[in-house]
Structure 1
């Protein structure tokens, strides 16, 4: 029997594919899937690709949908098993939270931005920022992210008081800290204790400023007893801390363990003068001291003997401030004469010390041995008036002097004439600041002579010729000489002449001079 075309086609198909059919291929694919479970996700997609070329009608379409649904179900089951794995879920959650939470650096930058400050990883200046207790706590939490911090200043933030422990317990994160400033922070006794405990942590600290914290008075031992021998502290400032005589004894003990001290400022502590003799005895333990500020310390007669004995040992001293201790001038002890043993002195402030002619002479003699002197402040010592000539030799040798303050010294015309002649002879060449204020006894002729020679002070940048608040005088007798001298002083930036009466035309001249030359001339009468 002759075969039909359909039968011939079928035979040829069987010859080309002797044991193969679409369903056989599908079965083999599923068998392969069983043998290689690690590729189970790839196989369903191959099945789908194979069936794309066939049209099996409704039943085949149904089977295909079932296969696809099975594939989706299997994939979903795999995903579900992954989601149910606790380690995977926790890892993803941790990564997500890390991605969302800000880094330590971002937190620090946000904190500084909130306070209107520029962030710095080494110098953290938060002076006068109206910090709250919450801010201090937040700052403490940020210290772990500031390992390079070297300076921390929280001065003039009253709320620091009572909260310092929240900060000090984290100071171990900033082991490189060298400078800590806590001026006017209303520190309490508890804060002083916390600060003392912190000294065992911040071993690199070189500067500590606790000025204007009156509650430290009577409690200094809570701080000093924690300092260990060999402490690296170089600068200690406790201005106006209400220190007592007992605190002075604690300070003396402290000097035994800070051999590297270079700056000691205990000014405006009127009661500490009672223990100055004890302090002076231990100053010998800091031979590298460069600055000693004893302004308004209530120095007593017995204090000066101790200081005269130790001064020759402080050969590195560069700045000495004994101002507002009126017993300095009354003492018969040769304290001022001993300054000759301090050849590196650059600044001597003895204002308002009740100097007499004898003590002024001792100072003048000592000043002959101070070749590096740059600042001399003798203000509010009435004996200088008419006796400035005692300092003539010293002023001739003081080639480095830049600041001379003679406010309220009862100066007379002769004293001003001496200053102008010194300059005309080539001395005082580097003088930049000259304070002649509150010397009401100088005659009009004296001011005129001074103004005529004023143009020789080429380096002068500041000049004060103001009268005392209760005065008002006419400056017309020498105003012309002053105006002429101003044109010869290119460095002059500030001129104070308060309580000198100016006419309307003189005012306009001064205002015009201010505008044209960018000067600051102050007058109010």
Structure 2
């Protein structure tokens, strides 16, 4: 049980790091910022109204206050007219009353430590209370141009979402809606489904970590019409049922613009993958498919092999933590060759067997665009890394290579060192060889002598398993020598490697010049930072 927990926890952490490499964000928004008024000593400047700051949008922060004040009256007039035409905006008796209302909204945002914006309201993980939510609802009539709303990780949203969805007609330009981990109730889910038809421009919907979505997915998606603009749909750990999966399969043909589909950590949808796969055939624009820990069965894996060749635009594929793939995925893995645009392949902890690994190795030769390759926790890699030799030589774009807990042996590391020396992994930024305790000191020495050729390397991890402690051999001196020649290295994982006093002194020597800092994580669970001289 300890081993399994360590496995899942470590893999989730490392996978999150990989996701940063390949963020798929099709839309970038400019956020306008609220600025506090400054007054010089002995002089009080006229205060710029919040209305002016609110409408300023993406104008440069360096704009002189004089120019700002000149536009205040015209902008305020435009804003008043816009607010007056809103269905939910109540008639205000005077501009003073209007300004008072707006200033209350500004105070609400300041209380939460957030900044007022015209297109983006990010209240993610702000500890919103029920009272805060009510205040936020009163703010919506003034956000007619809102394109992004994020209230994820706020527990008190659950049970009160209807108060927000009732105002959705005011923010019909909304493109991004994130409600992850909000403890949504069944009533919230139903209210959201009714509101979605009022935001036809929606491009991203994130409902991850809301268990009540499970069993109720039709309530949310049933009103999506053909021509829907949704590009990103994230439903991670939503307790989706087999029936939800079947319904999703029916809806997917409607989502012609879909680019990202994340169904990770829904262990009961594996049985409905037939329906999902049929729906995926219509998503020719799909770029990211994540099925981490989805309980894929041998049957569902075979079905997915039939769909993979049709997803020619796919850039990221995550099939990790589906252990039934080990003995039944030869057809699926062999067909990865039909994904020429694939940049990230995450297939860690899938209990791959020799035949399936061979099929993967043969197909990976054709993945010339690959940037992230994660094979961790597949023991069959050990002693067989030579099967990936051609892939490693041809993967000129590879940035992340993870081979943690793969039972690698000294011969595997020697092969890797040879590939590094010949310059085939010149773009590599992260190399994870942790938890491969079978590698002898001679193997680590060969690697450390060649790692200096990885000029773009940022992170290297050679940590031992939690149950194993060993003293560093002579290879450590070669590692220190290589580090001085690596211009971008920032972190070296060396957990459970014990450094004798003499080697500790060598580390301290690196602190003399203090031109940059490298983090050495070593000595059991101890952590030390040493500035590096070079």
Say if 2:396 is the partner of 1:405: no
**Which residue of 2 is the match for residue 205 of structure 1?**
202
Greater Rg, structure 1 or structure 2? 1
1:285-333 per-position Cα deviation (integer Å, ceiling 9, x unaligned): 1110000000000001111222111111110000000000011121055
* CA drift at 1:217: 1.1
Distance change >3 Å, CA 435–CA 333, structure 1 → 2: closer
**Which residue of 1 is the match for residue 252 of structure 2?**
255
Say if 2:420 is the partner of 1:419: no
Say if 2:471 is the partner of 1:474: yes
Distance change >3 Å, CA 505–CA 109, structure 1 → 2: farther
Give the CA RMSD over aligned residues.
1.6
Q: How does 1:437-516 map to 2 (within 5 A)?
A: 437-513=434-510
Q: Secondary structure at the match of 2:482?
A: helix
* CA drift at 1:429: 0.9
**Which residue of 2 is the match for residue 518 of structure 1?**
517
**Separation of aligned partners in 1, 2:326 and 2:101:** 59
Distance change >3 Å, CA 255–CA 158, structure 1 → 2: same
**Separation of aligned partners in 1, 2:401 and 2:411:** 17
Q: How does 1:302-341 map to 2 (within 5 A)?
A: 302-331=299-328, 333-341=330-338
**Which residue of 2 is the match for residue 52 of structure 1?**
none
Identify unmatched segments of 5+ residues in structure 1.
1-93
> Greater CA deviation, 100-109 or 350-359?
100-109
Q: How does 1:128-143 map to 2 (within 5 A)?
A: 128-143=125-140
* CA drift at 1:98: 4.2
**Separation of aligned partners in 2, 1:332 and 1:403:** 23
Q: Secondary structure at the match of 1:194?
A: helix
Runs of 4+ in structure 1 off by over 4 angstroms are 94-98
**Separation of aligned partners in 1, 2:332 and 2:230:** 28
Is the 2:413–2:447 contact (alpha carbons within 8 Å) kept by the matching residues of 1?
yes
**Separation of aligned partners in 1, 2:353 and 2:92:** 79
Say if 2:120 is the partner of 1:116: no
Say if 2:159 is the partner of 1:184: no
Is the 2:250–2:275 contact (alpha carbons within 8 Å) kept by the matching residues of 1?
no
Q: TM-score w.r.t. structure 2 length?
A: 0.79
Is the 2:258–2:283 contact (alpha carbons within 8 Å) kept by the matching residues of 1?
yes
**Separation of aligned partners in 2, 1:103 and 1:197:** 33
Is the 2:441–2:473 contact (alpha carbons within 8 Å) kept by the matching residues of 1?
no
Q: How does 1:258-407 map to 2 (within 5 A)?
A: 258-331=255-328, 333-407=330-404
Distance change >3 Å, CA 332–CA 257, structure 1 → 2: closer
**Separation of aligned partners in 2, 1:352 and 1:96:** 65
Distance change >3 Å, CA 367–CA 99, structure 1 → 2: same
Q: How does 1:92-241 map to 2 (within 5 A)?
A: 98-99=95-96, 102-241=99-238
**Separation of aligned partners in 1, 2:213 and 2:122:** 23
Q: How does 1:13-32 map to 2 (within 5 A)?
A: none
1:396-453 per-position Cα deviation (integer Å, ceiling 9, x unaligned): 1111111100000001111111111112112111111000000011001111111111
**Separation of aligned partners in 1, 2:330 and 2:227:** 34
Q: TM-score w.r.t. structure 1 length?
A: 0.80
Distance change >3 Å, CA 508–CA 242, structure 1 → 2: farther
Which of the pair is proportionally richer in helix?
1
**Which residue of 1 is the match for residue 48 of structure 2?**
none
**Separation of aligned partners in 2, 1:119 and 1:171:** 19
Q: Secondary structure at the match of 2:115?
A: coil
Is the 2:182–2:210 contact (alpha carbons within 8 Å) kept by the matching residues of 1?
yes
